[in-house]
């Protein structure tokens, strides 16, 4: 199956207005991701600034984070990036059923990542008594940044769920599927942010 | 013609800038203040000359090229779009000016930075709403005036016990913020005796406006020594610590390692790493502070034992390594000190 | 662009159905012109409120011992005054207000890229403004518009409200920024290449990325301060390992670009007004456009020049000093070019032109003192004093606000179809110009002699000049009252302007005043720069704009 032209309907007629509106929305969405990226960058700056402002890291009294568990959890999230990629590709090529399966897989993996994060939070807070407000700058920066990222994943999962419902209702057609493209971009963005967060919190 | 008038005005402005008796309005109390005045003169001369030309031509063009009653209603101006040569020059000339200004200001700034290091070391601590001062041989803190001897280089370490204040002596043309958890340093050499107000320039609370009442007194060596002796005697009985800690015994035996560890991460890590001695942040690394064969003595020259560490924690430190606030500035109770010492003692 | 021309202007030519009913037309409007006017009205309401606060400040300073309000109240007054003037007045007026109103018309578009987002970003703004002023009810912030911790951590509950309000304005700005960038990149009329864009559009194009990127950085700082205040999570409190200096980095990383957010659109306004009334092209179009972009870019690299006294390492401070000097070069180019624009002109003295020329004269003073302040040894003397107050008011009042007034007199006919009264306008200009200089010029001197800023009482040696300034500031307020009277009177009784009262050549003047909701009957094609008065207008396809021909057909609702 070939990829349909953007904005084309079932008969190959191209909706010019849609094509140009899509251009605008795509650009606007990318700019939104840029400014979201600045938001994360500012907090990452804050974390690195505080981390280097004193004590060595982690600060006295706090264990190093458990890399192994987080690594497995990262694999789950990166896997969801792959499934999302295949979902979009399959949609473009008209394999609707496989698209739906990949999309559902993405949602399950995304939710799995959130579950893993909840487990890790639970362990830190109740096992090691490391909390948001009570553990100095470590708790502050770790929970703020990963929490912000977790919220992004959560919103992503919600959005993908809406996508499933919309797709089932036939909102997206072969030539008009900006909603799916945006979802994919967003999901990859969230993945990339996690690569950075994972490196700066667990690896260095 | 216009250019000649503007040039004459610019020359007048330059002459005015260089002859204006700034020191009559604001004495230059330290050596580098006069260099800052030089910079002010230089900038005021060039800035006002530049401004006279810009504003002069602006006003001249605005008058000379106004539409007159005799003009046709749809008369248009000369349609000039640009002029490469002119644009080239008014990009390059400001660039040259920027380079000159950079050289001039960096030179003066370096003279401020390169003031001698091994002078009298004084610590100024910002409080809501006053500054207090610690001198090497005076117990406790001096809380009214700050005295300095003429001609003796001074190293002033600034820190704060609560919020950010700005330590400014206008007559010194110098200021720095006092930041809690941070020690910043300015160095200068007093050159002119007198009484100069010390003013807080960072908003620090309701009574911020009242924080301009203290004075810096610069005086000759004998008067300074008299003042110094007076405070030595006055504070002889004061424990080197501040109210709250003073006179209370520190229960060194009752220190709690876990509490000390937690406290360390809150109170100490802004300045000290748990790393070898050489890894200095503001103060030295404290890994194995009590059990370091390479450094058997503390920074105050005393042997490293728990009581002396407690004394530094209680009284703070001012010396060749910089400055550390006292227990009252840091908000440490005697029990806190005991806990910290217990924790530090476990580091090997 | 070829495609766009074939399809009646493509997305730029897309027409919304005409809004029906008062609410859709004037309240929850999608029309960029209405939204622009909404921004302008709302911002002027906040301008009156924070202007009153300014007069409270000056009244307090009539006497060295104050006495008009209690010191604590005084701190609240100037903090809210500063925050409101920056975030609720100047930025919304110049971006959301004049930006929305004018630049889509100037690029020949029927609306901005995302009309719904535009409406959303407007409606966030008054809500945030009310939140900011409501902080007075719970104890407003006291630590100035910069809210340095740790003192802001001790502030009353209103400080958290302040964080939330500024955060919301920031969201609104970010949305506007994204909207404007996409609109300018994608929705220019056929033939409107980058080198044919009017300079006001260039001003907005340089500003919008700053809105988009810098504002988000501020949002992070505000969120952190809010979290620390409300939940005790340490970021800035040094007793818990946080760093107060980090706030200054995060705050100034936004707030220095914010200075350019507040001045670049005003540069754009001046670059439109000058050629129109001098009847000649703006001098050095390309260099002016380029220098706006250069200033925007350099603006991100100089934030720490606000922090020379904060205890940074000297080798870190040096590049900030030099880069700040360098910003003087593109700014100088603009000032020289504007001055040269007057040369050989046939200058018509409308009020807008007076404000534009006044802008150049006053902004240049602010620019030169800005270079002074970048010199570290001088900054170590005057940082945190009235010299700073003088400098920033020369830039933001002598610069931005004069630009706003020039824009108001210039574009008021486009908003309302009527001219503002020129006699009242000229009285407004001269009183304002004199009042402003008498208020702020002596502050340079006071700051150098030793008067710190943000004080409710001061050393009696400064009494004379402070009284002088206070009296002059009343004159300034009186001038602004005349302006408001002028607007309210002219909106009903002003002379009808017709489509192009000034003989201006940019696209917005080639269509009726006020324009139809669809802006252009046919999207024009552009053949050149607008500014050459000896040539015919470089547009095609505008023949029907001023005739009674039927409006274009709206595409279906969407």
CATH number, domain containing residue A102: 1.20.120.80
B contacts of C333 (beta carbons < 8 Å): 87, 90-91, 94
| Residue C24 confidence (pLDDT) | 86
Q: Which domain holds residue A118?
A: 16-203
CATH number, domain containing residue B16: 1.10.287
Q: Is A53 on the interface with B (CB under 8 A)?
A: yes
Q: Last residue of some domain: B91, B113, B135?
A: B113
| Residue A98 confidence (pLDDT) | 95
| Residue B329 confidence (pLDDT) | 66
Tens-place pLDDT, residues B6-39: 999 999 999 999 999 999 999 999 999 999 999 9
Pick from C189, C3, C16, C15: nearest CA to C103 = C189
Same domain, B11 and B100: yes
Same domain, B46 and B91: yes
| Residue B290 confidence (pLDDT) | 84
Q: Does any domain span residue A5?
A: no
Q: Determine how many CB atoms are found less than 10 A away from the CB of residue B152.
A: 14
Structure tokens at A67: 């890399």
| Residue B326 confidence (pLDDT) | 73
Residue C86: pLDDT above 50?
yes
Tens-place pLDDT, residues B230-289: 998 888 877 655 444 444 567 777 778 888 887 887 778 777 888 888 777 777 888 888
- Looking at residues A175-193, what average pLDDT do you find? 94
- Would the CB atoms of B265 and A60 count as touching at under 8 Å? yes
Q: Last residue of some domain: B64, B82, B113?
A: B113
Q: Which residues of A lie inside 8 Å of C (Cβ-Cβ)?
A: 16-17, 20-21, 23-24, 27-28, 31-32, 34-36, 38-39, 41-43, 45-46, 49-50, 53-55, 59, 132-133, 136-137, 139-141, 143-144
Pick from B45, B64, B44, B47: nearest CA to B3 = B64
Q: Does any domain span residue A11?
A: no
| Residue C18 confidence (pLDDT) | 78
- Looking at residues A154-179, what average pLDDT do you find? 92
Same domain, B175 and B211: yes
Q: Does any domain span residue B107?
A: yes
Q: What confidence category does residue B319 fall into, taking pLDDT thresholds of 50, 70 and 90?
A: low
| Residue C239 confidence (pLDDT) | 84
Q: What confidence category does residue B146 fall into, taking pLDDT thresholds of 50, 70 and 90?
A: very high
- Would the CB atoms of A54 and B264 count as touching at under 8 Å? no
Q: Does any domain span residue A7?
A: no
The domains located in chain C, with CATH, are 2-540 (1.20.210.10)
Q: Is B164 on the interface with C (CB under 8 A)?
A: yes
Q: Does any domain span residue B95?
A: yes
Q: Does any domain span residue A8?
A: no
- Quote the number of domains for chain B: 3
Q: In this predicted complex, what is the ipTM? A: 0.93
Residue B66: pLDDT above 70?
yes
CATH number, domain containing residue B147: 2.60.40.420
Q: Does any domain span residue A3?
A: no
- Average pLDDT over chain A reads 90
- Looking at residues C244-272, what average pLDDT do you find? 94
DSSP string covering chain A: -PPPPTTB-TTS-B-HHHHHHHHHHHHHHHHHHHHHHHHHHHHHHHHHHHHTTSS-SSPTT-PPP-HHHHHHHHHHHHHHHHHHHHHHHHHHTT-HHHHHHHHHHHHHHHHHHHHHHHHHHHIIIIIS---TTTSHHHHHHHHHHHHHHHHHHHHHHHHHHHHHHHHHTT---SS--HHHHHHHHHHHHHHHHHHHHHIIIII-
| Residue C467 confidence (pLDDT) | 96
Tens-place pLDDT, residues C191-238: 999 999 999 999 999 999 999 999 999 999 999 999 999 999 999 988
Tens-place pLDDT, residues C384-436: 999 999 999 999 999 999 999 999 999 999 999 999 999 999 999 999 999 99
A contacts of C212 (beta carbons < 8 Å): 31, 34-35
Residue of A nearest to B271 (CA): A54
Q: Which domain holds residue B213?
A: 120-234
| Residue A66 confidence (pLDDT) | 85
Q: Does any domain span residue B269?
A: yes
| Residue B247 confidence (pLDDT) | 47
- Quote the number of domains for chain A: 1
**HEC-encoded secondary structure of C206-261:** HHHHHHHHHHHHHHHHHHHHHHHHHHCCCCCCHHHCCCHHHHHHHHHHHHHHHHHH
Q: Does any domain span residue B241?
A: no
Determine the straight-line distance between the first and last CA of chain B, rounded to whole angstroms.
82
Q: Is A55 on the interface with B (CB under 8 A)?
A: yes
Same domain, B30 and B52: yes
Chain C contact partners (≥3 CB pairs within 8 A) = A, B
Q: Determine how many CB atoms are found less than 10 A away from the CB of residue A66.
A: 13
Pick from C85, C57, C139: nearest CA to C456 = C57
Residue C9: pLDDT above 60?
no
Q: Does any domain span residue A9?
A: no
CATH number, domain containing residue B304: 1.10.760.10
Buried b / exposed e along C433-456 (16+ C-beta atoms within 10 A): bebbbbbbbbbbebbbbbbbbbbb
- Average pLDDT over chain C reads 92
Pick from C106, C204, C184, C102: nearest CA to C524 = C106
Q: What is the DSSP letter of C164?
A: H
**Three-state secondary structure call for residue B323:** strand
Residue B162: pLDDT above 70?
yes
The lowest-confidence range among A25-29, B205-209, B259-263, C466-470 is B259-263
Residue C38: pLDDT above 90?
yes
Q: Last residue of some domain: B113, B131, B149?
A: B113
Same domain, B124 and B108: no
Same domain, B174 and B223: yes
Q: Does any domain span residue A194?
A: yes
| Residue C487 confidence (pLDDT) | 97
Give residue for tokens 């340095």. C148
Q: Does any domain span residue A62?
A: yes
| Residue C4 confidence (pLDDT) | 36
Same domain, B259 and B333: yes
């Amino acid at each position: 199956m070939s990829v349909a032209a953007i904005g084309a309907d079932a008969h190959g007629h191209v909706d010019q207005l849609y094509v140009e509106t899509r251009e605008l929305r795509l650009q606007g969405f990318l700019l939104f991701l840029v400014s979201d990226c600045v938001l994360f960058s500012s907090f990452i700056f804050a974390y690195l600034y505080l981390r280097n402002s004193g004590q060595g890291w982690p600060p006295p009294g706090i264990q190093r984070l458990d890399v192994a568990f987080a690594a497995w959890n990262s694999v789950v999230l990166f896997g969801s990036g792959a499934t999302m990629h295949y979902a979009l590709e399959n949609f473009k090529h008209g394999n609707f059923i496989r698209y739906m399966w990949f999309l559902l897989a993405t949602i399950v993996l995304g939710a799995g990542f959130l579950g893993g994060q909840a487990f890790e939070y639970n362990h830190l807070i109740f096992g090691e008594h490391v909390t948001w407000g009570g553990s100095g700058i470590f708790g502050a920066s770790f929970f703020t940044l990963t929490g912000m990222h977790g919220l992004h994943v959560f919103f992503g999962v919600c959005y993908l769920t809406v996508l499933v419902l919309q797709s089932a209702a036939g909102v997206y057609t072969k030539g008009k599927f900006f909603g799916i493209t945006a979802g994919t971009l967003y999901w990859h963005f969230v993945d990339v942010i996690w690569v950075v967060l994972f490196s700066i919190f667990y690896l260095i | 013609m216009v250019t000649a008038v503007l040039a004459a005005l610019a020359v007048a402005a330059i002459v005015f800038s260089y002859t204006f008796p700034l020191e009559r309005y604001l004495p230059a109390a330290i050596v580098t203040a006069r260099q800052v005045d030089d910079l002010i003169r230089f900038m005021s001369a060039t800035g006002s000359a530049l401004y006279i030309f810009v504003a002069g031509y602006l006003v001249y063009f605005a008058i000379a090229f106004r539409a007159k009653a005799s003009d046709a209603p749809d008369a248009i101006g000369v349609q000039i779009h640009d002029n490469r040569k002119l644009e080239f020059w008014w990009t390059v000339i400001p660039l040259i000016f920027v380079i000159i200004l950079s050289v001039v200001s960096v030179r003066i700034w370096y003279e401020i930075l390169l003031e001698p290091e091994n002078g009298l070391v004084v610590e100024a601590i910002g409080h809501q709403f006053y500054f207090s001062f610690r001198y090497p041989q005076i117990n406790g803190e001096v809380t009214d005036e700050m005295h300095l001897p003429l001609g003796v280089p001074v190293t002033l370490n600034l820190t704060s016990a609560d919020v950010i204040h700005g330590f400014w002596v206008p007559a010194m043309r110098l200021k720095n913020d006092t930041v809690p958890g941070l020690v910043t340093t300015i160095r200068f050499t007093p050159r002119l005796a007198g009484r100069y107000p010390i003013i807080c320039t960072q908003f620090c609370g309701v009574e911020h406006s009242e924080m301009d009442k203290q004075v810096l007194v610069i005086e000759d060596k004998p008067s300074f020594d008299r003042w110094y002796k007076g405070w030595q005697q006055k504070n002889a009985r004061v424990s080197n610590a501040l109210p709250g800690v003073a006179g209370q015994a520190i229960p060194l035996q009752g220190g709690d390692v876990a509490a000390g560890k937690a406290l360390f991460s809150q109170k100490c890590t802004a300045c000290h790493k748990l790393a070898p001695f050489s890894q200095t942040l503001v103060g030295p690394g404290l890994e194995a502070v009590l059990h370091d064969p390479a450094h058997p003595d503390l920074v105050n020259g005393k042997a490293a034992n728990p009581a002396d560490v407690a004394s530094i924690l209680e009284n703070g430190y001012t010396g060749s390594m910089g400055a550390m606030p006292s227990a009252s500035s840091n908000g440490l109770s005697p029990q806190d000190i005991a806990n910290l010492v217990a924790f530090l003692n476990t580091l090997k | 662009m070829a495609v766009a021309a074939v399809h009646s202007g493509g997305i730029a030519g897309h027409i919304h159905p005409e809004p029906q009913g008062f609410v859709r037309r004037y309240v929850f409007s999608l029309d960029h012109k209405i939204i622009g006017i909404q921004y302008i009205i709302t911002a002027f309401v906040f301008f009156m409120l924070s202007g009153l606060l300014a007069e409270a400040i000056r009244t307090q300073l009539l006497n060295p011992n104050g006495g008009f309000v209690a010191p604590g109240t005084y701190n609240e007054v100037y903090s809210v005054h500063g925050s409101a003037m920056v975030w609720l007045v100047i930025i919304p007026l110049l971006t959301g207000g004049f930006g929305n109103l004018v630049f889509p018309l100037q690029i020949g578009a029927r609306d901005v890229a995302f009309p719904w987002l535009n409406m959303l970003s407007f409606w966030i703004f008054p809500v945030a403004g009310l939140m900011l002023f409501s902080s007075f009810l719970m104890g407003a912030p006291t630590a100035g518009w910069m809210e340095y911790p740790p003192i802001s951590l001790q502030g009353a509950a209103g400080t958290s409200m302040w964080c939330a309000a500024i955060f919301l304005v920031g969201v609104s700005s970010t949305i506007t920024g994204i909207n404007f960038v996409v609109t300018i990149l994608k929705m220019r009329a056929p033939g409107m290449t980058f080198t044919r864009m009017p300079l006001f559009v260039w001003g907005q194009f340089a500003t919008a990325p700053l809105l988009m990127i810098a504002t988000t950085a501020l949002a992070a700082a505000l969120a952190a301060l809010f979290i620390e205040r409300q939940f005790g999570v340490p970021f800035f409190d040094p007793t818990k390992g946080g760093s107060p200096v980090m706030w200054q980095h995060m705050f100034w990383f936004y707030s220095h670009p914010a200075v350019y957010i507040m001045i670049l659109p005003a540069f754009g306004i001046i670059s439109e007004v000058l050629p129109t009334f001098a009847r000649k092209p703006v001098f050095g179009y390309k260099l002016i456009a380029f220098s706006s972009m250069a200033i925007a870019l350099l603006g991100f690299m100089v934030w720490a020049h606000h922090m020379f006294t904060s205890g940074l390492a000297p080798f870190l401070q040096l590049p900030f000093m030099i880069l700040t000097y360098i910003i003087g070069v593109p700014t100088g180019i603009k000032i020289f070019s504007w001055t040269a624009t007057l040369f050989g002109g046939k200058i018509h003295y409308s009020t807008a032109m007076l404000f534009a020329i006044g802008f150049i004269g006053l902004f240049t003073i602010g620019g030169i003192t800005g270079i002074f302040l970048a010199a570290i040894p001088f900054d170590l003397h005057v940082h945190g004093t009235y010299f700073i107050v003088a400098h920033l008011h020369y830039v933001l009042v002598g610069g931005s606000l004069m630009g706003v007034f020039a824009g108001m007199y210039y574009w008021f006919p486009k908003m309302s179809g009527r001219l503002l009264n020129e006699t009242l306008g000229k009285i407004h200009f001269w009183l304002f110009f004199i009042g402003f200089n008498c208020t702020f010029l002596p502050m340079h001197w006071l700051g150098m002699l030793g008067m710190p800023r943000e004080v409710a009482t001061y050393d009696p040696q400064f009494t004379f000049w402070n009284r002088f300034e206070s009296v002059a500031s009343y004159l300034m307020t009186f001038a602004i009252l005349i302006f408001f009277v002028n607007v309210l009177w002219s909106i009903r009784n002003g002379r009808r302007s017709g489509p192009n009262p000034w003989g201006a050549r940019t696209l917005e003047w080639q269509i009726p005043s006020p324009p139809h909701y669809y802006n252009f009957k046919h999207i024009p094609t552009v053949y050149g720069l607008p500014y050459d008065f000896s040539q015919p207008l470089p547009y095609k396809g505008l023949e029907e704009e001023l005739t009674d021909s039927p409006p274009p057909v709206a595409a279906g609702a969407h």
